[in-house]
Every structure is written in structure tokens, then in C-alpha cells.
Amino acid sequence: MATASVPEIFGSMVFDDRTMQERLPRETYKALEKTIQEGKSLDPTIANTVASAMRDWALENGCTHFTHWFQPMTGITAEKHDSFISPAGDGSVMMEFSGKELVRGEPDASSFPSGGLRATFEARGYTAWDPTSYAFIKDKTLCIPTIFCSYTGEALDKKTPLLRSMEALNKQAMRILKLFGNEDVHSVRTTVGPEQEYFLIDRDLYNEREDLVLTGRTLFGARPPRGQELEDHYFGAIKPKVAAFMRDLDEELWKLGVLAKTEHNEVAPAQHELAPIFNNTNMAADHNQLTMEVMKKVAERHGMYCLLHEKPFDGVNGSGKHNNWSISTDTGTNLLEPGDSPMENAQFLLFLVAVIKAVDEYQDLLRISVASPGNDHRLGANEAPPAILSIFVGDELNEILECLEKGKPYSQKDKEILKVGVHTLPRFPKDSTDRNRTSPFAFTGNKFEFRMLGSALSISGPNIVLNTIVAEELEGFADKLEKSTNFKKDLDTLVKKTIKEHKRIIFNGDGYTDEWVAEAEKRGLLNLKTTVDAMPLFLDKKNVKLFTKHRIFTETEINSRYEINMENYSKTINIEALTMIDMVNKQILPAVEKYVDDLSLAFSHKKALNPNMNCHMEYERVTDLSELSAKVYDEAAELKNAVESAASITDFEANARAYKDLVVPAMETLRTDADKMETITGVSYWPFPTYSDLIYHV
């Protein structure tokens, strides 16, 4: 593809602003734009006009079908395809698409997780058009981004609460902006740029591993002699095969209007990263879902498989997703960017301390928002941020906050002295220590980077929490300041008080050390190590109050999501455990037995030649492998017992706890011994590709 054509292909498969301007009557376009820009509710009468314009555009681009594209609680996207055909009455067909079909769909909700909602409500669900995210074409199908709800209006998806949270934040941030006299601002949106990590491995090798195929990660595998210790992969030259994949991926994503910007290698061998240019949070979430889907598809085309699991390989760096987050006005101002005037800086500081307070008060929710069985392998494992929430602000901003709290002047280059609302703040350089990546939540100059997300996670959950908790703090601030008779003084007091009360969450050191774990405990910060430890706090009174007050989740929705996540944990571990048992019994033990048999044969042949022949190696190997085989055989049986006893528990909470406390440790024991066998079994005997094959063979 010639470079000149990039602007031409960019968004070519998207019914975006440009296309709408071209194809919609002026009035319709204006009404739709108002909805998109300001979240105003849509006039239903325009739906027919929009639908027929969309249909014409889709048909011109070779589409035969349309689908409501939605994001159920499975974490991936779902589609129900319908064709455009409609009988014309004379035996022929016409291609039709009505406003009604655009606005509303009725997929069968019973095949998606509903967490108890199904018992109380009908299995039917409906999807409803989200006009704030553009329709697009994928695989000759017109895809309409939609929300997904039960018939009684309970959200069954990840988009609905995300939109609600953006609205909550908009409402409260607007109150604050009014106080600072921003008359020209009409709305505020959060922005997100999610950096996506992934692994690429050879597709044939992938297919030879039952664990990868069934669970997305390796359940066995001894560490190869060479790991990532040379650190030469990061930003190293991209292999031709991977480079071709990346070019193709970029092009596919650009067509879909995804602002894919940077592609590079990551820390581990075979690991890579894609960073998009940020977008509003709703579109960023849609685009990230699309990105993950397209990555998988394009990898297949290139004879590779894209692993999005958080921890495909034990002992090798896992994959995460960095959620760069900020707040922006419709006039284009980034509210987390220190401004040019004293008033703008005071406003910046207020938003900054709102985030600090929010993260401190809702550490549990942020932790919960990234909780998944896959991510349990990363958080706290000294390669990803720890499971403890803290904020990195960098040395300079830290000093400023300290001065503010103590009412001391802050001087920079001996001239500028800072008091809230009085003097200009410096622009913060991206602190170089920020590159250590040990902080779970870092201020990076004009945005926050939430780094605890797992690579496979939908970014909706973490952003729902971020938007809501910041909305909550802004609401508290606005309630106080709106009553103020001395704004500057009260603002100053509020900022000081907030820093004082929440500075325990600020930590600029190395998050991987044991000292930090101890220090965090002293500070009273939470350390929720696993999904099962974290999830129950979702039901904490303060959290239920937060979500219901801001109309993000009803209590029923909270309960159902809790149940879905716990069940998902149990199901995931269950599949992993059963896969291990299967691989041990059907692949590993028979393979080792064959090797042992060959060694024993060699032993007796050699002894027959000469009774004094040195058969020390054969003897030792056979002995060791026989011991290990017996052990592994028993451990697989124990794992089976553990799974059976966990599975027999019907209460979903006790069930998840049993998987964590009984099954996970039994899996670890089994793996350890099976991996020991791998290191002393002939490679030609080993029944599936090894770590060396997988990560060095692309």
C-alpha cells in the first residue's frame, strides 16, 4: 500500500462524520451530531432517514447483512446477523433496512451470562442503537454499535454502564467548570488511549497444544535455557513476518477508523504492543474490542496465532493493557493539563486532587475492575504492577503537592512561587522514573495511566469505575464550592485538606519491593491478591451506594455482575484443571513411558553386550522418570478430586473460593512435577511444542 493512500483508506469502512455529512439531509445530520456531541436524546423520526442512508452506503460497499454489534458480559463482542433482503411481493427481493431495525434488535439473551437476572426476567433481551459510536463494515456486514439490555431495562452488557458513567462524570465536571467560569464549555468527556500487548506464535505449533487451544495459555512448559534476560527484544528490530502482520493489521484497523499509531516489540520474546491515538472513552472501548478481534484474524492470515491471554507462558512476561485516561471539554481542553493562567491551574489542581481522593477511597473498586483469573497471574508477580493501588505523581508534582498541603511556597528556578489560584504551574515533564512501570496508576504529565488491566480485558469495566469515582469526588467538591462565599479561600482549603487526607495513596518508589508491601500495609492500603479476594468488596455498602446514586448500576445489576465474575472464575479454573488432567493422562505420561521404555531397552541391550557396560545414565533417568511419573499420576488424580469437590458446591461464592483454595494449588503442584519431567525427557518424545519452540519460532 502506498503511503499516499492512508488518508484515503482511513475510516473507509466507517459511517463516520464525513460520510454522514455527505449522505444525510442537513437537518438529520445536525440532529444526529447534536446527539453525538452533547449526548442529547435522539429524535426517533430521524432513524428512518439514517437507516436508509446507512443501507445505501453498506450496499455500495458490498454488504448483504447487518448486525447489532454488542458487548455482553463475556468480555468479547457478539453479533446477530440479519440479511437486508425483504420479499417484494412478486417473488423477488428488495434490500431493506428500516429505522426500527436500526434502533432496536432482539437477540436471544439466554445464551449470554446474566448472573441471576435470567431467573427473574424473561430470556429475551434487546439491543438499542448507540448513535455516539459510528457504524462500520466488517466482513461484508454493516455493524451497528448497540447497548444490550433485558426487557425490563437491566443492563446485560459493558457499554450501557460505560455510557452512564460518562454521563455522570459530565454532569459533575460541568458543575466544577461553571464555578471556574468556563462559559463556553457545553460538555465534558473522558478520553482513553489503551496500549494493547499481545503475543504472536506460530499457528501450527499453537494447534498442537491442547492447553493453548482450550484455555489460551500454557498449563505446562519448562522454562527455556534462554528467557528474556538479554532484554534485546524490546524495541529491537521487528522480524519480517511480524512486520508484515503489523502492516496488515494497521491497514485493517485504519479502514475501521481505529487510530492505530505505534507498533513495537515488547519485553518478552514474541511479545508486541499496539498503541492507538486516544479517543473518547466509548469509541476507545469499541475500538479496543475491534482491535483485539482484528489482531486474531490478521494473525491467522499470516500463519500465526495472536495470544491475548494475560499470562500465556509461565516465567515469561505477561501481557497487560495500559489505560491512558483523561478528561476533555468539547472545546478541546484537557482538564488534566496544567494551564497557562493561575485560574486554569487552580482548576487543574482541583481535578488532580479529585482523582487522588477517588483512587484512595475506591482502591477496592479499581482492583475489582481488573480482576480476572488470567490477571491473577500478573498482579503482584513482579512483572506487572502490584495488586496494591497507589498513585505515582513524579518528584516535581509531589513537591508541589507537599508545598500546597503545608502552605509553603513552591519555587521553581528561583522565581515562580505557587499558591492555589495565584501563580502559574510548571508544565510537568514526563518524569523519567515513570518508565519503571512499577506503579499501577501513574500521572504522566497530562493524563493518568492505569496499568493494572490485563491484556484480554474489555476496557469498559475499569473506565466505568474511573469515571464514576471521579464523578463522585467532583460532586462532593461542587456541593461545597457552590455554597462558598469566598471561592479562592475555600478552594485553597479544599485542595489542602484533600491532599492531607489522601496523600497515603501517593507512592513514587519501586512498587515491586517487599518494603513497599509492608509500607502499604502500614498506610492501610488494600492488598487484594486474587479475583476471589477482591470481588466480594464489590457488594460493599459504600460501593453499592456509589453506583446506585450515580445511576451506573442498580443493586440487581451489581449482584448479577458479582455472580457473573465469580462464576467466570470458577469456570475458567475448572476448564484449566480438566485440560491439565487430560494432557497428563493422554499425552505426557504415555510419552514419558515410551522414553523410559526405550532407555530400559537400551540398558538391557548394553548389558547384553557387556555386563560391565556403564549404564549409569539410563539407570538414573529411568529411576527419576519412573518416580516422577508415579507422582504426576497421583497428583493428577488429586487434582481430579479437588475439581470434583469444588464443582459439587452449588453456592457460587463458596464454589469460587474452593477453586482458588483447592484446585489452583493442586494445579501448581502437578505442573511443577510435569515440568521437571520435560527437562529430562528426550525432545523427540515430548508430546507437544516446548517453550523454546513457541516463543522463538515466529
Q: How far is the CB of 323 from ligand ADP (least distance, A)?
A: 9
Residue 157 or 195: which CB sits closer to Mg ion? Answer: 195
Q: What are the residues whose beta carbons fall under 8 Å from the beta carbon of 546, sequence distance 6 or more?
A: 362, 365, 468, 469, 472, 552
Place of cell 449522505: 23
How far apart CA 113 and CA 72 sit, in angstroms, is: 8
Residue 335 or 566: which CB sits closer to ligand ADP? Answer: 335
Residue 451 or 657: which CB sits closer to Mg ion? Answer: 451
Q: What are the residues whose beta carbons fall under 8 Å from the beta carbon of 491, sequence distance 6 or more?
A: 346, 350, 420, 421, 481, 484
How far apart CA 285 and CA 98 sit, in angstroms, is: 27
Q: How far is the CB of 192 from ligand ADP (least distance, A)?
A: 5
Alpha-carbon Rg of the chain, whole angstroms?
28
Residue from 255, 322, 377, 378 touching Mg ion (CB under 5 A): that is 322
Residue from 191, 463, 543, 690 touching ligand ADP (CB under 6 A): that is 191
Tell which residue, 234, 270, 263, 268, has the closest CA to residue 247.
263
User: Cβ of 207: how many Cβ atoms within 10 Å?
Assistant: 12
Residue 671 engages Mg ion in binding (rule: CB under 5 A): no
Distance set, CA 442 to CA 390, 447, 505 (Å): 8, 8, 11
Site string for Mg ion, 173-202 (x = CB under 5 A): ----------------------x-------
- Choose the contact partner of 364 out of ligand ADP, Mg ion, none; CB within 5 to 8 A by kind: none
- Choose the contact partner of 600 out of Mg ion, ligand ADP, none; CB within 5 to 8 A by kind: none
Residue 196 engages ligand ADP in binding (rule: CB under 6 A): no
Residue from 101, 157, 195, 344 touching ligand ADP (CB under 6 A): that is 195
Residue 561 engages ligand ADP in binding (rule: CB under 6 A): no
Q: How far is the CB of 429 from ligand ADP (least distance, A)?
A: 12
Q: How far is the CB of 262 from ligand ADP (least distance, A)?
A: 7
Residue 278 engages ligand ADP in binding (rule: CB under 6 A): yes
> Could you tell me which stretch among 47-55, 189-197, 199-207, 458-466 binds ligand ADP (CB under 6 A)?
189-197
CA quadruple 223, 224, 230, 234: dihedral sign: negative
- Grid coordinates of 52: 436508509
Residue 430 or 607: which CB sits closer to Mg ion? Answer: 430
Q: Is 113 exposed, middle or buried (0-12, 13-18, 19+ CB in 10 A)?
A: buried
Fill in the DSSP letter of residue 341: S
Residue from 367, 447, 657, 671 touching ligand ADP (CB under 6 A): that is 447
User: Cβ of 543: how many Cβ atoms within 10 Å?
Assistant: 20
Strand, coil or helix: what is 598?
helix
Q: How far is the CB of 434 from ligand ADP (least distance, A)?
A: 9
Q: Determine what percent of the chain falls in helix, strand and coil, rounding each to the nearest 5.
A: 50, 15, 35
- Grid coordinates of 163: 455510557
Residue from 137, 149, 166, 192 touching ligand ADP (CB under 6 A): that is 192
Residue 277 engages ligand ADP in binding (rule: CB under 6 A): yes
Residue 202 or 434: which CB sits closer to ligand ADP? Answer: 434
- Grid coordinates of 448: 493518568
Q: How far is the CB of 449 from Mg ion (least distance, A)?
A: 6
Residue 276 engages ligand ADP in binding (rule: CB under 6 A): yes
Q: Which residues lie near ligand ADP (CB under 6 A)? A: 191-193, 195, 275-278, 324-326, 334, 444, 446-447
